[in-house]
């Protein structure tokens, strides 16, 4: 099995990751839901601050991101670290498709065209990966 396939099979439609951006002074990390749909990665944001949310301000200055996702093992946990650039999605069809598929989105935004609903697409350029119960860390540059 190719490393990319081994990594991708670990993603569900939704998972919580620790998502890092950078402001001028230091990294900023927060838990966020990572959405994996149709071979694309997304995050819904804007519930606190709309288009002016701090993470969006940070990504507009520096679109680089990194996240960490733990993978449960019997003896040793594994992980996936993903890195790349985040972009705000303007395409209405994509925004609606994700909004309709993610039940909890309706609890934050009463409609798909709510002004605070922001959809980010994460475009990866690399992964670090350690399989559960393994000690070897593998690196994949895309």
Q: pLDDT tens for residues 61-97?
A: 999 999 999 999 999 999 999 999 999 999 999 999 9
Query: Residue 142 and residue 140: Cα distance in Å, rounded?
Result: 6
Q: Which residues contact 13 (CB under 8 A, 6 or more apart)?
A: 35, 36, 37, 101
In 3-state terms, what secondary structure has residue 54?
helix
- Please name the helix (run of DSSP H) or strand (run of DSSP E) that holds residue 84, with its range, or none: strand 78-88
* pLDDT score, position 55: 93
**What is the pLDDT confidence band of residue 1, given thresholds at 50, 70 and 90?**
confident
Q: What distance in Å separates the CA atoms of residue 112 and residue 8, rounded to the nearest whole number?
A: 28
pLDDT at 36: 99
pLDDT for position 116: 94
Strands 27-37 and 40-45 come out as antiparallel
Is residue 105 within 8 A of residue 44, CB to CB? The reply is yes
CATH 2.30.110.10, applies to 3-141: yes
């Amino acid at each position: 099995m190719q490393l990319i396939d081994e990594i991708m099979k670990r993603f569900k439609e939704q998972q919580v990751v620790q998502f890092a951006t950078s402001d001028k002074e230091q990294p900023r990390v927060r838990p966020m839901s990572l959405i994996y749909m149709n071979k694309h990665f997304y995050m819904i944001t804007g519930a606190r601050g709309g288009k002016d949310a701090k993470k969006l301000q940070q990504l507009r200055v520096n679109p680089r991101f990194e996240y960490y996702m733990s993978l449960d093992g019997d003896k040793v946990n594994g992980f996936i670290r993903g890195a790349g650039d985040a972009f705000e999605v303007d395409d209405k069809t994509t925004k609606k498709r994700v909004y309709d598929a993610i039940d909890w989105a309706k609890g934050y935004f009463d409609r798909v065209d709510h002004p605070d609903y922001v959809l980010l697409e994460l475009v990866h350029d690399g992964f670090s990966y350690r399989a559960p119960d393994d000690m070897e860390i593998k690196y994949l540059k895309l």
